[in-house]
């Protein structure tokens, strides 16, 4: 079989290795050398070469691993796994354990990728999972990738959007407690979140997306029967404003009804009010093919929709479909975004 032709016309995607004690090295070794991925982008891994050599052996990857110094060096006609070495990991770093060394390393990979993206050296970022406990132990106290990338790129506000082949979900709040989430939700935040989701889907090729907006309480409050009028106070004004602007927005809807209708094809996007309201249905419907897209950054960023999977890290048994799909979506978004590298 002929090797994919990595011509300059393909978008360059910076891929962070994630927490080196997790499954990140393994999913990267497999996905970044697949013919399907190499047909749509020029991936360059930001990480650790010895770790990737080990991961490639675990995953049965036979393509060579080649060190490069800059993303521009990925042009060529080979199927090598191109890696930019950042820092140096201990040779005996164990898989499957929380480590401050691994947490700090994961941070440095993201920091380097963000710099390449903001400097337009790459068209997008795709991230393997990090471990929040390890990240904090390494001295970097962020709730997750979303907030970390917002900090590194200077984005004032971003949203997490989960995408599967059958469902797109954007979150008004994410990594905060439920009581804090309800307190934080207000009409301007809801409106900005929905607008970011609409913009993301339009850039992905969906004209005038149809949006379903979840309520906060059971049955979306059922006209004040449940809760304290949060739907009328915090959500309805945002929907009214967006309707006045001509957007196709529906709600507030009971969350169980909204997700049922979306999987039936009635909505292009569901707006979840808090983390588990959106994550639960997505992970039931398709975690292996799910992709996390950070909306509102000045750069394109996609990610796998799963964690570091410490229980199977280092065994070579992880499923890599989500990483491949993250790269494919990053390439698609990059092609549709003016000014990307």
Any idea where the domains of the chain sit in the sequence? 1-155+299-341, 156-296
The CA distance from 222 to 220, in Å, is: 6
pTM, entire model: 0.86
Look at residue 261 in the predicted model and tell me its pLDDT. 94
Nearest to 227 by CA among 252, 248, 204, 194: 252
pLDDT above 70 (res 336):
no
Could you tell me the fold of the domain covering 156-296?
A: Isopropylmalate Dehydrogenase (3.40.718)
Question: Which pLDDT score is estimated for 1?
Answer: 40
Which residue's entry shows tokens 């480590």?
99
CATH of domain 1-155+299-341: 3.40.718.10
Interatomic CA distance for residues 46 and 26, integer angstroms: 14
Cβ 74 vs Cβ 65: under 8 Å: no
pLDDT grade for 18, boundaries at 50, 70 and 90: very high
DSSP state of 234: I
Percent of the chain beyond pLDDT 70?
Answer: 94
- Residue 341: predicted pLDDT: 52
The model's pLDDT over 41-56, given as tens digits with 9 standing for 90+, comes to 999 999 999 999 999 9
Give the pLDDT confidence score for residue 288 in this predicted structure.
62
Say whether 156-296 and 1-155+299-341 share the same fold: yes
Question: Residue 248, Cβ neighbours under 10 Å: how many?
Answer: 15
Residues 170 and 156: beta-carbon distance below 8 Å: no
Q: Do the beta carbons of residue 34 and residue 323 sit within 8 Å? A: no
The pair of three-digit structure tokens given for residue 313, joined into one six-digit string: 């890290």
Residue 181's Cα: distance from chain center in Å? 21
Give the best-scoring range by mean pLDDT among 149-158, 216-225, 238-247: 238-247
pLDDT at residue 192 tops 60: yes
- Determine phi and psi for 199, rounding to 5 degrees: -60, -40
List, in sequence order, the alpha helices (H) in 164-309: 178-184, 187-203, 230, 236-244, 255-263, 275-286
Q: Which residues have a Cβ under 8 Å from the Cβ of 64 and sit 6 or more positions away?
A: 78, 80, 81
- Nearest one of 261, 296, 273, 249 to 167, comparing CA atoms: 261
Q: Tell me, what's the pLDDT at 2? A: 45
């Amino acid at each position: 079989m002929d090797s994919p032709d990595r011509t300059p016309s393909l978008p360059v995607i910076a891929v962070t290795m994630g927490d080196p004690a997790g499954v990140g090295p393994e999913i990267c070794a497999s996905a970044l050398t697949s013919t399907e991925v190499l047909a749509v982008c020029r991936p360059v891994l930001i990480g650790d070469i010895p770790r990737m050599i080990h991961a490639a052996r675990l995953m049965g990857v036979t393509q060579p691993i080649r060190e490069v110094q800059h993303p521009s060096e990925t042009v060529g006609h080979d199927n090598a796994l191109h890696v930019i070495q950042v820092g140096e990991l201990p040779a005996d770093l164990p898989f499957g354990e929380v480590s401050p060394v691994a947490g700090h390393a994961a941070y440095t990979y993201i920091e380097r990728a963000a710099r390449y993206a903001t400097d337009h050296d790459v068209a997008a970022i795709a991230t393997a999972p990090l471990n929040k406990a390890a990240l904090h132990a390494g001295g970097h106290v962020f709730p997750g990738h979303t907030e970390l990338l917002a900090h590194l790129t200077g984005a004032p506000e971003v949203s997490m959007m989960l995408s599967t082949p059958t469902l797109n979900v954007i979150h008004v709040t994410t990594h905060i407690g439920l009581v804090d989430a309800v307190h934080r939700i207000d009409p301007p935040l809801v409106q900005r979140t929905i607008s970011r989701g609409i913009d993301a889907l339009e850039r992905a090729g969906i004209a005038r997306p149809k949006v379903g907006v979840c309520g906060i309480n059971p049955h979306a409050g059922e006209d004040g029967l449940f809760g304290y009028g949060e739907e009328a106070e915090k959500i309805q004004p945002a929907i009214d404003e967006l309707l006045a602007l001509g957007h196709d927005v529906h709600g507030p809807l009971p969350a169980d009804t909204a997700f049922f209708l979306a999987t039936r094809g009635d909505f292009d996007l569901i707006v979840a009010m808090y983390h588990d309201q959106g994550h639960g249905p997505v992970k039931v419907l398709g975690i292996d093919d799910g992709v996390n897209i950070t909306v509102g950054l000045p750069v394109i960023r996609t990610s796998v929709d799963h964690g570091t999977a410490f229980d199977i890290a280092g065994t070579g048994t992880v499923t890599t479909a989500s990483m491949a799909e993250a790269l494919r979506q990053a390439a698609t978004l990059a092609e549709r975004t003016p000014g990307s590298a």
